[in-house]
Structure formats: structure tokens, C-alpha cells
Amino acid sequence: MSIFKHKLTQGWRWYGPTDPVSLQDVKQAGATAIVTALHHIPHGEVWPLADIQERKSIIEAAGLTWDVVESVPVHEAIKTRAHDAQKYLDNYNAALKNLAKCGIKTVCYNFMPVLDWTRTQLDLTMTDGSKALYFNWTDLAIFDLYVLKREAAELDYPANILAKAKAKFEQLSANEIDALRINVLMGIPNEKEIELEALQNSITLYQNIGEKGLKENLTWFLAGIADTCTQNDIKMTIHPDDPPYPILGLPRIASTKEDLVAILESVNQPFNGICYCTGSLGAGVNNNPLEIFEAVKERVYFLHLRNVTKDEEGNFYEADHLGGDVNMYEIMKAVTAENAKRATPILFRPDHGHQMLDDLNKETNPGYSAIGRLRGLAELRGLEIGVTGNY
């Protein structure tokens, strides 16, 4: 008899009514739970109760449930502890309370300065003809040195990367340089992209804050929402840095096992949890994703399962969900063993996916086309059954 009393909850990230992937598509893919956010609400504003209820009603009318919010963005004023940070903290608490009134109590967020996940190419062609997201240090250096023109940027790259960046930049066309700029500055779908000037200003600000100051500001934020979360049974899950390295002169504080353990200990209460992302953590050359999970598993409330393949320079592309450097078999064994201890199943979603088949001819959100994620979900569901024997 299997010790596994229930399966992981199968989720799907959906970008709302304008997402090219419909809720009907999601149902056909086999997911039951939706992970979404109100991207039309500007960062820092209170999420109105009516807007939350409307989105929830749309999802439930399709026969699905809204289980996780990804994300309620943390305003830059909080990350930098600006003079008006308390106003944005109050707004965040108000948004959390409104979500709780609607029964939505798992919230994903990140504390990456300015940028969300960063890639240098959105359409790397795989050997099978599908397309994947890609991060390349030489291309990032080109952006940093010759597009952003950050002061003293050359100090952050080894000599071989600087040489390759210079040689490649001299061969790029104006259109290729502009495409690189767009890729690096790309925002979340349905949200405004970052501008170069704003990025420059933020880099200057974060140079003064540094890694230590950013950690202190995260602790201030978590302490400031602790009562709201505890009273409303909300679980906050911080997403690891993506990629898990300082980039463009911006500090990172959620990139390693030590980082995540320190975050949990900084405000050591049950609400303060982790979104365990195998892709983000797997991109770290010195990270052991399985070891990281074992260190923080009791506070993992949300799972992003995807894979990456790295090279000796730390460049990486997003591989098939069961391919790449992350041993997804061992991860699934550990995750399902932890899930067996829970009264409520942990929700996972197949994070990102290759653009493939009919989606190659469609406009899709980078990383979030339908068929690549459908394949990933199917593979992960099969792996779970194979590991647990729980049909």
C-alpha cells in the first residue's frame, strides 16, 4: 500500500483574459488550479476586492480554482526603504486582506531589484526545432557595456567574457542590438517594460543599499506583513532570484541555500515560506537543488518545476522538464515524500516550456506557450505516479 495519501495539486500560470492560452486550454492540459495575478493593477496599489472577485468568478466559471497568486509585486519603495515605503507596505497589507476575504491565501512574490527574471534570448532553437529561453553572459555583458553603458561594468566580468563581448558587439546589427535590449528589459506579460534611464537610476540607488541593506529591507517587509498573514492564514512564498547571480550591478539575496535559510530565519514564523523553483536554483553553478529543498522543505508552499542545461561559463538554456542538469526524478521523490506529510497538497506548476508544434506559428508569452507546458505537465504527472505509485 502506498504511503502517499494524495497527489500534488496540478497548477497552471495564466495571465488573465488576454492570455493567448485560454482557460479551456488549461483544462484540456489537465491542470485543475490556476496561478494568476491582477497585472492591470499598477505596482503598489491596493488590489480592489471587486477585481479579485471578478477574476475568481471567471476562473471558477471555467471549472477551475484560483489557488495561488503570482505575484503581488513588492513595490520598489519597499525594496529600497524609500521615504514613502510605509504607504506601500500598508497597501500591500490591504491587498493581502482582500485576497484572504476571497479565500486566496498562497502568495508568491520576489525581492529582485527592478527586474524580474532575466534572459538574453527568448527563441533559442533546440535540436528538435522547438524554441527555448536562454541566458548568456557574453550577451548580458554586451547589453551592460554597450547599451546600458553602466559605469565600471567591466569590473563585473572575467577577461574572456569581456573579449567575447567586444568581438560579438562589433558584428551585431542595430536591429540585433535593439532585440537584445528588449529581451533584457522585458517585463511580465501585460505589464510595462523597464526603461534604460529608470534602470540606470535604480542601479545607482542600489549601489548605496547593497546586499546587506536589501536583506534588511526584506526583513522589514516580512515583519510588516506578519500580523496580516498570521491572522488571515496567508502563506507568503518568495521566488528565488532568476538568474541566481548579481547582474547589472544589482544585488541578489535569494540565490542559494544559505540565502533561503537566512530569509526563513529572519522572520521565523510559519507564514514566511519559499516558492521552490528548480529552474532558478538549478541555474546556479554551485547550487544543489535537492540539498536546497531538504534544507527548506517544511516551509515550501509552492513549486515551480522546470529544468536548465548549463555550460562551463554558467550560460544556460531551459531544457525539457525531465532533461537538463536538475535530477527531476530525485526532486520528485523528495517533493512527494514531503507532500505525504501535509494535510493540504502542495501545488506545483510546470514552469516555462518550449515553444513547439503549432505554437511556433503563434504569438505567445515567452516561456508560457501552451503546448510546451502541456508536455511538461504530462511528464511531471507521469513522474509523480512513477515515484509514488499513487494513481
Q: Is 102 a catalytic residue?
A: no
Q: What is the spatial distance between Cα 219 and Cα 89, in angstroms, rounded to a whole number?
A: 12
Q: Which one is catalytic: 39, 75, 321, 352?
A: 352
Q: Is 320 a catalytic residue?
A: no
Contact between 307 and 321 (Cβ < 8 Å): yes
Q: Which one is catalytic: 67, 277, 320, 359?
A: 277
Q: What is the spatial distance between Cα 189 and Cα 185, in angstroms, rounded to a whole number?
A: 12
Cβ-based neighbour number of residue 327 at 10 Å? 16
Buried b (16+ CB within 10 A) or exposed e, 51-89: ebeebbebbeeeebbbbbbbbbbbbbbbbbbeeebeebb
Q: What is the spatial distance between Cα 246 and Cα 264, in angstroms, rounded to a whole number?
A: 21
Q: Which one is catalytic: 109, 206, 301, 368?
A: 368
Q: Is 358 a catalytic residue?
A: no
Q: Is 75 a catalytic residue?
A: no
Q: Is 277 a catalytic residue?
A: yes
Cβ-based neighbour number of residue 97 at 10 Å? 17
Beta pairing, strands 316-319 & 131-135:
antiparallel
Residue in the structure block whose three cell numbers are 505537465: 377
Q: Which one is catalytic: 39, 239, 321, 354?
A: 239
User: In residues, how long is the chain?
Assistant: 391
Q: What is the spatial distance between Cα 343 and Cα 87, in angstroms, rounded to a whole number?
A: 36
Q: Which one is catalytic: 156, 259, 351, 359?
A: 351
Which residues sit opposite 107 in a β-bridge? 69, 236
Contact between 109 and 73 (Cβ < 8 Å): yes
Q: Is 90 a catalytic residue?
A: no
Name the packing angle between helices 85-101 and 49-61 (round to 10°).
40
Contact between 187 and 230 (Cβ < 8 Å): no
Q: Which one is catalytic: 39, 304, 321, 354?
A: 304
Q: Which residues are catalytic?
A: 239, 277, 304, 351-352, 368
